[in-house]
């Protein structure tokens, strides 16, 4: 009995000691949607670099002006190994040529910094790199985007607009991470418009809540119809103007795909918005998913107006806000938080 007690105490001491020895990772650095590619310059300037540029620096559809999905920066292995700044970059893509080891692809989360994704190809030659990269390129892009969203959400959490958070919880039963400067511009029990306006650009999230009637809520044409109905509640500067979806030109037509949104099946739609009755516009990213517990459909719409600035990074910020969505579970003692939508109109009209 005493021996067992001694062993348990010893294990407790060991685990207690270990937890204090775990190093705390530094915060990752680098610009939004930037990847550093660690490979010799001759590889970067040859077909390997061409392959990476062709995939990651393609023009991103759904923006007013051409911008790449990512910006790539080449760092040679010696410089990378000698620099903590490079090692702490948020997105690291390593292509190492080694004939001694078996070819492999490693995707490592938070290796030198947090949040960080490190992709490492160990290959004997260029052809092996192509063979391994081609079937994995889409998944690798999504892994890098996931870390981009996580990093932005982490930064926004440090300057979160608590008033917006509390109203989302109290009125609608869910939450998103909005940074300071965002405020409600319009709201009722089945709709809200939350935005931030600055001198050079405007960002916002619009959402609509409506009954779930079946799988047809995910059909692209129904999504656009619902989006246009929702956006009639978003007025422009000119009297009688309002937001709608740009569908007049085939090259700017909205396009959709299915995604996993925090464990939920969702349809993501990208395109351009414009003002009916005025001359403003910009990109949007729309998400539709189902609140199965309450049999309601939720549409989140992240939009941007930035006539004089690049749009990609500002739009990724709003995607990160939308993708921070989660349902709010109130503490047991917080009985008022259970009044999600039924009594929201009274609170909204009272301006509380």
Query: In the predicted model, is pLDDT for residue 346 greater than 70?
Result: no
List, for residues 84-125, the tens digit of each pLDDT value: 999 999 999 999 999 888 999 999 999 999 999 999 999 999
Residue 187: inside a domain, yes or no?
yes
Place of tokens 């996580």: 150
Report d(CA 164, CA 162) in Å as an integer: 5
pLDDT given at position 352: 46
Residue among 247, 265, 246 at smallest CA distance from 257: 265
What is Dmax (Cα atoms) for the chain? 84
Cβ-contact 176, 163 below 8 angstroms: no
List, for residues 167-197, the tens digit of each pLDDT value: 999 999 999 999 999 999 999 999 999 999 9
Higher pLDDT, 344 or 247: 247
Cβ-contact 140, 307 below 8 angstroms: no
The domain in which residue 340 lies consists of: 160-350
pLDDT given at position 308: 86
Domain shared by 183 and 238, yes or no: yes
- Strands across the sheet with 34-38, in order? 71-75, 34-38, 91-97, 117-123, 104-109
Domain shared by 134 and 185, yes or no: no
List, for residues 118-172, the tens digit of each pLDDT value: 999 999 999 999 999 999 999 999 999 999 999 999 999 999 999 999 999 999 9
User: What is the DSSP track for 36-77?
Assistant: EEES-HHHHTSHHHHHHHHHHTSBPTTSSS--BS-EEEEE-H
Q: For residue 151, what are the contacts with CB-CB under 8 A and spacing of at least 6?
A: 28, 90, 115
Task: Write a three-state SS string for 11-41.
Answer: HHHHHHHHHHHCCCCCECECCCCEEEEECCH
Q: What is the pTM of this model?
A: 0.87
Query: In the predicted model, is pLDDT for residue 25 greater than 70?
Result: yes
pLDDT given at position 130: 97
CATH of residue 294's domain is 3.40.1000.10
User: Last residue of a domain, which of 154, 188, 204?
Assistant: 154
Domain shared by 165 and 136, yes or no: no
Residue 14: inside a domain, yes or no?
no
List, for residues 200-211, the tens digit of each pLDDT value: 999 999 999 999
Q: Round the average pLDDT of the chain to a whole number and report it.
A: 90
pLDDT given at position 227: 98
Query: In the predicted model, is pLDDT for residue 12 greater than 50?
Result: no
List, for residues 270-296, the tens digit of each pLDDT value: 999 999 999 999 999 999 999 999 999
Whether the bond into 115 is cis, omega within 30 of 0: yes
Residue among 325, 320, 307, 318 at smallest CA distance from 204: 318
Neighbouring-strand partners of residue 28: none
Domain count, the chain: 2
Mean pLDDT of the 293-303 span: 98
Domain shared by 146 and 208, yes or no: no
If pLDDT is split at 50, 70 and 90, which confidence band does 330 have? confident
pLDDT given at position 100: 85
Domain shared by 142 and 186, yes or no: no
pLDDT given at position 23: 58
Mean pLDDT of the 3-24 span: 45
Residue among 71, 59, 86 at smallest CA distance from 35: 71
């Amino acid at each position: 009995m005493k021996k067992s007690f001694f062993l348990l105490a010893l294990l407790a001491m060991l685990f207690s000691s270990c937890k204090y020895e775990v190093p705390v990772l530094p915060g990752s650095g680098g610009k939004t949607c930037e990847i550093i590619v660690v490979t010799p310059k001759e590889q970067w300037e040859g077909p390997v670099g061409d392959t990476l540029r062709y995939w990651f620096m393609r023009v991103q559809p759904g923006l007013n002006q051409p911008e790449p999905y990512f910006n790539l920066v080449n760092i040679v292995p010696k410089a990378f190994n000698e620099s903590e700044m490079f090692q702490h970059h948020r997105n690291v893509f390593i292509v190492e040529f080694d004939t001694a080891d078996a070819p492999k692809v490693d995707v490592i989360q938070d290796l030198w910094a947090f949040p960080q994704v490190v992709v490492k190809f160990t290959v004997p030659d260029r052809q092996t790199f192509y063979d391994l990269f081609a079937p994995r390129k889409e998944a690798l892009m999504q892994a890098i985007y996931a870390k981009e969203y996580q990093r932005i959400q982490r930064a926004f959490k440090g300057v979160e607009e608590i008033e917006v958070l509390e109203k989302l919880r109290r009125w609608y039963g869910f939450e998103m991470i909005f940074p300071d400067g965002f405020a409600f511009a319009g709201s009722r029990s089945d709709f809200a418009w939350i935005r931030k306006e600055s001198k050079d650009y405007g960002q916002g999230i619009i959402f609509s809540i409506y009954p779930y009637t079946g799988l047809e809520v995910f059909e692209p044409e129904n999504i656009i119809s619902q989006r246009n109905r929702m956006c009639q509640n978003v007025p422009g500067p000119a009297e009688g103007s309002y937001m709608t979806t740009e569908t007049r030109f085939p090259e700017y037509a909205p396009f959709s795909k299915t995604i996993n949104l925090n464990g939920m099946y969702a349809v993501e739609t990208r395109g351009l918005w414009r003002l009916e009755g005025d001359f403003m516009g910009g990109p949007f990213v729309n998400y539709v998913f189902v609140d199965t517990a309450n049999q309601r459909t939720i549409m989140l719409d992240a939009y941007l107006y930035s006539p004089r600035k690049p749009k990609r990074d500002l739009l990724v910020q709003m995607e990160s806000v939308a993708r921070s969505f989660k349902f709010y579970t109130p503490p047991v003692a917080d009985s008022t938080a259970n009044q999600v939508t039924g009594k929201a109109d009274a609170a909204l009209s009272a301006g509380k």
